[in-house]
Amino acid sequence: MLKSLETFVELAKKKKDKKIALAAAEDSHALKAIKLIIENEIAQPVLVGNTEKIKQIAANISLDLEGIEVIDEKDVGKACMKAVKIVKEGGADVLMRGLVDSTYYLKAILNKEHGLKKTKLVSQVAFIESPHYHKVFAYTDSGINIAPDLADKTAMIKQAVEAFHKLGIKKPKVGVIAAVESVKEAIPATVEASVLSMINYRGGIKGCIVEGPISIDLAFSKESCEHKGLETRVGGDVDLIVLPEINSANVFYKTMTFLGGAQGASFITGTTAPCVFPSRSDSVETKYYAMACAVAQCE
């Protein structure tokens, strides 16, 4: 069980000599998070971006750049490409996003010739620590796949489950979320959830337990399951939830973090190396834990 986001730090510290390439590094929150990464001896950074601005920010936050590789590139798109190239060629183990729009960051990662894409579909997974739940859980996908179909969701579950396995969770419990826990033709998400559960039952999705459709309250509350008389292996103890599409996933994440007091760690799956995928507005702590989570997943 992942008790807290601090667990990622403990796992990451067991990895040795890892490096993080920070694209468009002229970002105060990202550099503050990098400072925490260095202080906790998790990894060393390679900073790609506007050198002058990087030095200014570093001075303001008391980040000593001595011994840190800084590569000057003022164009944010090119900075992303250079950071991706560093990771692809083995100069760093993890890719991190700085002060750059998602479009440029993803374009570099998904570049067919020089990018880090490993599979046909890539997806976003975020681990969440909530004060209202007994362990860290994950969800997918609020940042990349707009309206995933059945095949997409199958791939998304497999990718997220692989991340759990790398973090030491051998059989994560997966809840495919819908408005209700029964199959209704008028609600397509319930039909897909039922099919995904059957695919898992018949061995098409391995290394996990998939149940669906299941509503949010049942996924996270054992008491709600008992009250409704639901027999479940997942309800009340879910590790991963699959949201119907990007709108519901995005609303879920922002509600959890802005109103629910939760912290998250977001990254991209389906790539040859861990790619951290924080929002530019995420806190320093969120970016720190996201990088620790990525390092923890390194081979």
pLDDT at 282: 84
Residues 196, 71 within the same domain: no
CA distance 268 to 265: 11
How sure is the predictor about 25, in pLDDT bands with cuts at 50, 70 and 90?
Answer: very high
**The model's pTM:** 0.93
Mean pLDDT score, 21-46: 97
CB 82 within 8 A of CB 47: no
Domain of residue 289, CATH code: 3.40.50.10950
User: Domain count of the chain?
Assistant: 2
Mark whether 174 and 249 lie in a shared domain: yes
pLDDT interval class at 250 (50, 70, 90): very high
Same domain, 216 and 240: yes
* Domain residue limits at 190: 121-268
> Measured between alpha carbons, how far apart are the two ends of the chain, in Å?
20
- What tens digit of pLDDT does each residue of 172-182 get? 999 999 999 99
* Cβ atoms of 108 and 115 closer than 8 Å: yes
Do 46 and 140 reside in the same domain of the chain? no
Whether 265 has a pLDDT exceeding 80, the answer reads yes
Query: What tokens appear for 165 in the block?
Result: 């396995």
Which CATH number characterizes residue 167's domain?
3.40.718.10
d(CA 122, CA 24) in angstroms, rounded, equals: 22
Note the pLDDT of residue 299. Answer: 81
Q: 211 and 149 in one domain?
A: yes
Mean pLDDT of 245-261: 94
* Pair 170, 97 in one domain: no
Query: Does residue 166 carry a pLDDT above 80?
Result: yes
Pair 151, 234 in one domain: yes
**Do 35 and 139 reside in the same domain of the chain?**
no
